[in-house]
Amino acid sequence: MESLSHIEGLNRRFGIAGMAEIVAGRGGMPVVRVASPAAQAEVSLYGAQVLSWRPAGAEEVIFVSERSQWERGVPIRGGIPVCFPWFGDKAGDPKAPKHGFVRICDWRLDSLRADDDGSVTLVCLTSSDDSTRAQWPHDFLLAYRIRIAQSLRLELTMVNRGTGPLRFEEALHTYFRVGRVQNACVHGLDGVAYLDKTEGFREKRQSGDLLIADETDNVYLDTEGPVEILDSSLLRRLRTEKLHSSNTVVWNPWQDGAANLADFGHEEWEHMLCVEAGNVLRRAVTLAPGEEHTLRATISVLPQ
């Protein structure tokens, strides 16, 4: 548990009166809480994970499981986890943390700023150390810029600080809150080839909108355009626009998959749908020494 004196120190240094404060969240972990005219949000410094975002006049957009364990070393189930430097299971090491190690580490709050338009922007950092090199032998810096406003803009910048080239996977694993997943569909992937992880990464091609009627775990290839969740229960569209992202991942565990997850309520699967911007599998990113790469996702809520 983070000491209250440390959290109070962060708040004295970075807090913005009437707009943003650093508080003790669940499990005692430091959370940046934003309440501005444009939006309300919470971002945990554990994993630099967005836990909540409500643009003015809208309902909650982000899903977090009521069974999340809120312990260090354990991922938070829901929100927007940062997956890096691998996606899913690490090749050749099934005991390695799923989706990489940065979502289960403490990030440093580097800056917190409010602008005249009501937006609040925070920047979190994490970098290589002895513990990360033991799992992935490269030197790096990750800078994560989160702009909270009527839209939510996420920019993850990776810098290769090493002396040789490196290759990594990344994703912004967004858990969207939906009224009922059976009444939602994903628009914007028609005609796109994808790998179906439920069938051993069998390659298929999407025809029309994606309807969620069973366990879904698809990695769409060469998708750079916007993607929308059409939610007829909540009468809204959740739009994700991307930059420097070659993949869109869509996931819902359905009833049986959720039952196998201890940190996932058995009925919660009906109220979430992951649509993720990333670069994974054959679209992993290679960087030369000193190079950097920025993945951007911009999320907005539109009427249906």
* Residue positions annotated with a catalytic role: 173, 276
β-pair type (108-114, 120-127): antiparallel
The contacts of residue 153 (CB under 8 Å, 6+ apart) are 145, 146, 147, 296, 297, 298, 299
- Measured between alpha carbons, how far is 170 from 130 in angstroms, rounded to an integer? 21
Could you give the CA distance from residue 182 to residue 54 in angstroms, rounded to a whole number?
Answer: 23
β partners of residue 181? none
Sign of the CA dihedral running 113, 175, 173, 282 = negative
Beta-bridge mates of residue 286: 167
**DSSP strand E in 183-304: where?**
184-187, 193-196, 202-205, 210-211, 216-221, 227-231, 236-243, 247-252, 272-279, 285-287, 292-303
